[in-house]
Amino acid sequence: MISTLYSIIYMALEILQLLILVYCIVSWIPSISNHPIVRTLNDFIEPLLRPFRRIKFGGAGMMIDFAPLLALLSIWVLQSFVLKYLFILLMNISS
């Protein structure tokens, strides 16, 4: 039961990483920005990136958005450390 839950959460985070990467690639193609799928993707990903956009790097002339990178890094930390140790803790409690 716990390993199934772990797998589901891990896969959901993998899909989220993929969606963030697709969001980044699609953002470079302005001609498809009004497509319904792209708008749905934007509606889903933008709220996740908003907290990371508050973190500012560089000066006023900086044109690079680091929010997707920070979001991907956060998901990686969740997968690599938090989720793994939570799974180990739950396995020890249940046995």
Give dist(CA 88, CA 93) in Å, integer: 9
What pTM did the predictor assign? 0.84
Residue 3: which of 79, 91, 66, 76 has the closest Cα?
91
Looking at residue 60, its pLDDT comes to: 67
Could you tell me the two tokens for 7?
A: 């797998």
Q: Residue 84 pLDDT > 70, yes or no?
A: yes
Output phi, psi for 27, to 5 deg: -65, -20
The per-residue b/e assignment along 6-36, b for 16 or more CB within 10 angstroms, e otherwise, is: beeeeeebeebbeebeebbebeeeeeeeeee
- pLDDT tens for residues 25-76? 999 998 998 999 999 999 999 999 999 988 877 666 777 889 999 999 999 9
